[in-house]
Structure 1
Amino acid sequence: MPTPGGYALVHDRTIVAERRTCRFSWVLVDSGNNINILYRDTMTQLGIEATHLQPTRMLFHDIVSGLSCSPVDRIRLDVLLGTNDHFRRGPIWFEVVDLSSPYHVLLGRPALAKFMAVPHYAYLKMKLPGPKGLITVVGDYKKSLECAKAGSKMAESLVVTEERRQSTGS
């Protein structure tokens, strides 16, 4: 790893919905975030319809610097952490947002607290108690780099679009 501590913790994760169970490869663990986010594209991949969502009053800021966002609604889904023979499964509340992102899901402090998980960003690992002892979830710094590049391009295009909108007075 060229720059220890310089990468986001990105790993594969299985999310369980009523109709489908999917393994997503770009799941971001962000202990600095006070919400769990499910992006609308991911919701569609899971076969979740808007009728399954519950109302929310959440508002959050600075996903893109200076911009605010309101989630569409929220949903409770099961998340699996670990391997096929040693894992934990638990329900997590996600705020569903209608934003583009290179990530499929963002797991914030509420998910980490639910699983009693401790991320270590220098080693791109997360540890949590499991039924057979300690579970170690390992991130991938190459995926982290890919996500960072894709996220930078998206953020840049959103900022440019917002600046154009403000300059034209729309």
Structure 2
Amino acid sequence: MIVVVADTSPLRYLVLIGEADLLVKLYRRVLIPRSVAAELSPARTPEAVRKWMEQPPRWIDIVESAKAAPTAADLDVGERDAIWLAGERKADLLLMDDREGVEEAVRHGLTVTGTLGVLVRAAEKGWVGLPAVFSKLRNTNSRASPALIGFLLEYDSRRRAT
């Protein structure tokens, strides 16, 4: 079984667009640090995300690291703890969207994908249509680059044509 650790933003966006269950289909289980669970719970968090986190699915494991993660000035606590947990558990994959967090994770030798990568993988398996899920994603506060989304839609169109 592969080990997958998630940061806050991929979970948040997948819940908001109604596609969080793609994670169990792709990876079976997802580990999240307690700090990520906390970031998904405040009153300012969208209601759908808060409700999802109040009773997380059985395939989400909220875990503590064996040691405290070292502080990193440019990262929030969830990103820092997700990177630390992924390294500690020798994760096969880290789910993270934040550019600085991704760069730090790569410096630590981790394999990273984000919300868009999860959606592309699900589209490759025929589970979702990228135009539809990207349209839903645009209705959130996702900072996904329109240019990158356009590139991925073109890739998807070519992939389906072959």
TM range (shorter): under 0.3
Return the structure number with greater strand share.
Answer: 1
Greater helix share, structure number: 2
Greater Rg over alpha carbons, structure = 1
